[in-house]
């Protein structure tokens, strides 16, 4: 992928990110629970013990 294509893709993703942030800032009910997708796990909701286990493991 050349530099121009990469830059174009970056701009496209940045615009989508800005749009999503603007939606979230106007309606907090859009965020129901945190979601984290890792290489070998998915965490849904916020259970402190689960997050610590996955994120702090070495």
- Per residue in 6-50, pLDDT (tens digit) is 999 999 999 998 988 888 788 877 777 788 888 888 888 888 899
Residue-level pLDDT at 7: 92
> How far apart are alpha carbons 6 and 36 in whole angstroms?
25
pTM of the model: 0.46
56 has a pLDDT exceeding 60: yes
> How far apart are alpha carbons 14 and 22 in whole angstroms?
12
Residue-level pLDDT at 58: 53
Residue-level pLDDT at 10: 92
Domain count, the chain: 1
**22-56 burial, b if ≥16 CB within 10 A, otherwise e?**
eeeeeeeeeeeeeeeeeeeeebeeeeeeeeeeeee
Closest by CA to 20, choosing from 5, 32, 33, 31, is 31
Whether residue 35 contacts residue 47, with contact meaning beta carbons closer than 8 Å, is answered with no
* Domain containing residue 17: 3-56
């Amino acid at each position: 992928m050349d530099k121009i294509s990469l830059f174009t893709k970056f701009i496209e993703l940045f615009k989508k990110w800005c749009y999503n942030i603007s939606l979230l800032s106007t309606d907090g009910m859009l965020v129901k629970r945190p979601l984290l997708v890792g290489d070998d796990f998915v965490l849904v909701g916020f259970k402190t013990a689960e997050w610590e286990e996955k994120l702090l493991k070495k």
